[in-house]
Amino acid sequence: MVAAAAAVGIRFAMGWTLTSVEKYCPFGGLETAYALIARKRFTCAAGELNLALFMALIALTLLARKAFCGWACPLGAVFEWTARLSRRVFKREAFQGLWIIPPKVDAALKIVLRSIVTALILAATWTTGELVFRGYDPYYILFSAHGHDVRNWSYGILGALLLLGVLVPLSWCKYLCPLGAVLWPFSAAGRLRLERSEDHCTGCGSCDRACPQALDVSEALGVRSGECTLCLECTAACPAPGALDLRWKGVAP
């Protein structure tokens, strides 16, 4: 999927079609929704595709949590690579990076920082009718091939975010991504989830160490967190067959 996303990104970036990569960003659907309701027209370059992808993404998230982030988001893939690099550089068993962030601080940062970023972007987009944050958006900077509004300092921002992604694994996804913030409540209500069987679990903690989101998979009977991307790294790392299973919430075994 990452390869497919990269191929599609390069295809559009090279100008083989008239379509820009930003039209494939589901967050653009939310950005343009206000303009569509209030003025019956789209915001800037956001259009039908953004809107339809955003609605489809909400439906997907209600079923399969943040599976989009774990399986399809090209930026998520890039930051996952920096997270893996971080694990090697700092010789960590888990995705901890340079500093081990206490769980309470981690939870607070997720709520506060992402809420601020999301509120700023939506307020600015809704009031100006323009996609004013293009030059700061790592997805657009990375995949638009020096698109409209990308300046030289934009690459500095991208570089800083990638470096931060090595120091604090998945820092963009966890603390800054506005789409992640919007999806979180829907993801928390997602029907598909990982469940742990106490009968089979040996308590080795392999699942905790494998989780890129640093969730405590072994602490509860099921992963309830809205941050779970269903990447299934935990099930792949689990040495005990039947200890971790993917199950539909509310459907009898």
Task: State which of residues 6, 94, 132, 232 lies at the interface with other proteins (CB under 8 A).
Answer: 232
Residue 43 touching other proteins (CB under 8 A): yes
If the CB atoms of residues 162 and 211 are measured against other proteins, the closer one turns out to be: 211
Residues binding other proteins: what is the number (CB under 8 A)? 46
d(CA 35, CA 129): 7
Q: What SS3 class is residue 171?
A: helix
If the CB atoms of residues 106 and 245 are measured against other proteins, the closer one turns out to be: 245
Q: Which string of b and e fits 27-46 if b means at least 16 CB within 10 Å?
A: bbbbbbbebbeeeeebbbbb
Residue 192 touching other proteins (CB under 8 A): yes
If the CB atoms of residues 4 and 89 are measured against other proteins, the closer one turns out to be: 4
Task: State which of residues 21, 46, 83, 223 lies at the interface with other proteins (CB under 8 A).
Answer: 46
Long-range contacts of 80-86 (CB under 8 A, 24+ apart): 80/170, 80/212, 82/162, 82/165, 82/166, 82/169, 83/165, 83/166, 83/169, 83/170, 83/212, 85/166, 86/165, 86/166, 86/167, 86/168, 86/169
Residue 252 touching other proteins (CB under 8 A): yes
* Strand 192-196 relative to strand 244-248, pairing: antiparallel
**Contact in structure between 20 and 144 (CB atoms under 8 Å):** yes
Considering the complex, what minimum distance in angstroms separates the CB of residue 45 from other proteins? 4
If the CB atoms of residues 92 and 247 are measured against other proteins, the closer one turns out to be: 247
Considering the complex, what minimum distance in angstroms separates the CB of residue 107 from other proteins? 25
Residue 26 touching other proteins (CB under 8 A): yes
- What is the contact surface with other proteins in residues (CB under 8 A)? 1, 18-20, 23, 26, 36, 40-57, 59-60, 63-64, 67-68, 70-72, 129, 192, 230, 232, 235, 245-248, 251-253
